Amino acid sequence: MSPEAAHHPPVQGLAHQFDSLEQQTEATTLGMWVFLVTEVLFFGGLFMVYTVYRTWYPDAFAAASHTLDITLGTINTAVLITSSLTMALAVHSAQLGQRKLIMIFLLATMALGGVFLGIKGVEYYSKFVEHHVPGPSFHFEEPQFAAHAQIFFSLYFLMTGLHALHMIIGFGIMLFMLGWTWKGGITADYYGPIEIAGLYWHFVDIVWIFLFPLLYLLGGRY
């Protein structure tokens, strides 16, 4: 322990490298924003691949897209947007220091996320049954589109899979936040962690907002 520590009365939640909670909150928020920029570029590579092949093979992409279940996709979109609402409410409760409400809204967000992943699992299962999973057993009903439809489904599984992975990481973050809140670490003076967890969750939500139309709503079906 450095002798200097004695000069500063300990502030709850303040890490040693910061001078004030305000500086700490600013730094962690900026850190999360920078991380999200990285994430945008990470998904950006896949969106680039998608753009190229959709431009090259519009008909095969439309045909492959039509085999996705639009109803389940729409329900999932609604579920995820609602989870963003509950997350925003959790942040709001944190700002007011309402410990119980924070935990209720975090649990609600996780529950909605669970519903989303469950529905996604059902969709994956039906793709598996229909032999739409890329690989040796891939089969597509319209043979003229088979090769290029496989590229579509490769992108479908990669993009939604990576998105689902981000949601699972989000569950981990929220469990951590639940524990933190339970122990009384989150107060009206120090709610930064909930706020940046919220930033992350909203980002995951926004990725889906782009994925849904790009994957489900192709080819003038509606």
Partner 1 sequence: MASSTVLIPPRHYLNDGYGIASWLLTRDHKRIALLYLATVTLFFFVGGAMAVMIRLDLATPAGDLVTDETYNKLFTMHGVLMVFFFLIPAIPAVLGNFLVPIMIGAKDLAFPKLNLFSWYIYVAGGLFTLYALVTGGVDTGWTFYTPFSTVSSTTNVIPTALGIFITGFSSILTGLNFIVTIHRMRAPGLTWFRMPLFLWSTYATSLINVLGTPVIAITLLLVAAERVFHFGFFDPRLGGDPVLFQHLFWFYSHPAVYIMVLPAMGVVSELVAAGCRKPVFGYPFVAFASLAIAVLGFLVWGHHMFVAGESVYSALIFSMLSFLVAIPSAVKVFNWTATMYKGAVSWETPMLYAYGFIGLFTIGGLTGLFLAAVGLDVHVTDTYFIVAHFHYIMVGGTIMGYLGGLHYWWPKISGRLYNEGLAKLSAGIIFIGFNLTFFPQFVLGYMGMPRRYHAYPPDFQVLNVLSSAGASILGVGYLIPMVYLMWSLRYGRLAGSNPWGAVGLEWTTTSPPPTENFTETPVVTWEAYDYHAPAEGHVA
Q: Which positions lie near partner 1, rule CB under 8 A?
A: 2, 4, 15-19, 23, 26-28, 30-31, 34-35, 37-39, 41-46, 48-49, 52-53, 56-57, 134-136, 147-148, 150-151, 154, 158
**Cβ 213 to partner 1, closest distance in Å?**
21
**Cβ 127 to partner 1, closest distance in Å?**
14
Residue 27 or 75: which CB sits closer to partner 1? 27
Residue 88 or 206: which CB sits closer to partner 1? 206
**Cβ 112 to partner 1, closest distance in Å?**
27
Burial letters for 26-62: b for 16+ Cβ neighbours within 10 Å, e otherwise? eebeeebeeebeeeeeebeeebeebeebbeebeebbb
Residue 102 or 155: which CB sits closer to partner 1? 155
**Cβ 8 to partner 1, closest distance in Å?**
11
Residue 39 or 123: which CB sits closer to partner 1? 39
**Cβ 43 to partner 1, closest distance in Å?**
8
